Structure 1
Amino acid sequence: MAAGAGVFIASMVLGAAYWAVWCYREKGPAGLLVKTGSVALLAIWAFLMGGPLLLVAALALSAVGDGFLAGKAERWLLPGMAAFFLAHAAYVPLFWQMGEAGWTWPVKAGQVALVVGGVLFARWLLPSVEPKMRLPVMLYTGVILMMGAAAIALPGVYWLATLGALMFIASDVILSFLLFRHPKDRPANVPASLAVWGLYFGGQVLIALGIIGSVPV
């Protein structure tokens, strides 16, 4: 088995294990290692496969963000958001460099729908966000919408990356609900937590596969 294939399989195993065991409960050291290791290994795989450095950087920054968000939200949420902000900021020029599908009504309609939906969601969410976090949330919303708009404009050959980016956004939408709208005194929302990790990790995998253009075998 090639080294790259082994790294990819290890990433998938860790990602699935985190989804099944840890994503809906307290993490602990083992959960932290499994969570960060799954995406970190994906970044290593992208590097071994000769993927663009911006892809490797985005995945590595995401792994850092995963590590922060595995801790207590009141302490580590802002550093985690900063790491993911930089990850999305790396994806934006990466998608631009990969070209655009051209000016077509479906692409532009999709971009408009994404931006309008994102703005409306942020407007609904912000009253529940504590004042000191409102600017970071608005900045984060802006960069992830830019990332999504760039992904929607990718040529059709990169459809896996487009789907992965939209899954990433969907994961962030659910996570923001859990962080800012879900009552703190209620038990963890297990289905939502499963959806957050499944969409996020699956989305990152599809982005990496879509950009590198090959399935590791």
Structure 2
Amino acid sequence: MTPDLIALTSALVLGVLYWLLWCWREDGGLLKTLVKTGSTALLALFAYLAGGPWLLVAGLALSSAGDLFLALDGRDADKWLKPGMGAFFLAHVAYIALFWGLPVSGGNWLVPVAQVVLALAGVTYARWLSPSLGEMRIPVFAYTGIILGMGVLALRLDPQYLAVTLGAMMFVASDMILALQLFTRPAGEAPRVVPSILVWGLYYGGQALIAWGAVHPFA
């Protein structure tokens, strides 16, 4: 097995392990943090070893930093949530730059329709969530804008990058569910099991598809 596939296999093992054992739990300590952060860090290593674009490697590495901050957020919410959002914001900037340079689909009228639907749905969702955001309103609105930009660009990619497009849509869906967990859950209530399982499954599956699809587009 080549080094890049070893890194990918290790990443998927850690991602599934976190999904099965920890994604809905607030406890777990250092091991939980290492497994969560390592799963996306190894995706970045896979992309690097496989000769993927540097913007892909940067997006995955920044996502790993975001995972670290959000893992620490469970211990000190006031300290780590904003840095976590900042890391993911920069990850989406890297993905936007990456997607901008990839081949695009031509002549399909469904693409602009899907782009408009995604943008309107995202803006409507952010407005609906707004009363629950408090002092996080501006950071959340900024983050919403950047992830919607990433999603809109992913929708225009050539069909050979279908895995990337699907991964990006999964990432957007994951963040929509996560926002409910972060901002509408009553104070002191433990994370809900089903939404937590959906968040990590969509997020990590999406990241894995983006990593694989950008390195190995369909012929």
TM-score by length of 2: 0.95
Q: Counterpart of 1:23?
A: 23
Q: Which residue of 2 aligns with 1:186?
A: 189
Partner residue, 1:147:
150
Matched, 1:57 2:61: no
Return the alpha-carbon distance in structure 2 between the equivalents of residues 155 and 188 of structure 1.
38
- Matches of 2:211 and 2:16, distance apart in 1: 17
Q: CA offset at residue 104 of structure 1?
A: 2.7
Aligned length: 214
Does residue 204 of the first structure (1) align with residue 207 of the second (2)?
yes
Q: Which runs of 5+ in 2 are unaligned?
A: none
Cα distance in 2 for partners of 1:214, 1:90 equals: 19
**Residue deviations 1:144-182 (CA, integer Å, cap 9, x gap):** 000000000000110000000000000000000000012
Rounded Cα–Cα distance in structure 1 between residues aligned with 2:93 and 2:86: 10
From 155, 168, 171, the equivalent of 1:168 is 171
| Residue 134 (structure 1) aligns with | 137
CA distance in 2, matches of 1:102, 1:14: 38
How far did residue 59 of structure 1 move? 0.1
- Cα deviation, 1:6-34, whole Å, max 9, x if unaligned, reads 11111010000000111111241000000
Question: In 1, Cα distance between the equivalents of 2:101 and 2:154?
Answer: 11
Q: Which moved more, 1:69-78 or 1:34-43?
A: 69-78
User: 2:115 matched to 1:111?
Assistant: yes
Letter in 1 for 2:47: A
Cα deviation, residue 2, structure 1: 1.4
- Rounded Cα–Cα distance in structure 1 between residues aligned with 2:68 and 2:20: 18
Structure 2 distance, partners of 1:188, 1:172, is 15
Match of 1:81 in 2: 85
What SS class does the counterpart of residue 71 from structure 1 fall into?
A: helix
C-alpha separation between the residues in 1 aligned to 2:107 and 2:78? 43
C-alpha separation between the residues in 1 aligned to 2:70 and 2:131?
22
Distance 1:185 1:91 in 2: 35
The 2-side partners of 1:33 and 1:214 are apart by: 30
Q: Which runs of 5+ in 1 are unaligned?
A: none
**Structure 1 residue ranges (4+ consecutive) displaced by more than 4 angstroms after TM superposition:** none
TM-score, length-scaled by structure 1: 0.96
Whole-angstrom CA distance in 2 between matches of 1:125 and 1:8: 36
**Structure 2 Cα separation of the partners of residues 179 and 85 of structure 1:** 17
Q: How far 1:214 moved relative to its partner?
A: 6.4
Query: Equivalent residue for 2:43?
Result: 42
Give distance in 1, aligned partners of 2:203 and 2:115: 20
CA-to-aligned-CA distance 1:107-137 (integer Å, 9 cap, x gap)? 0000000000000000001110012x11110
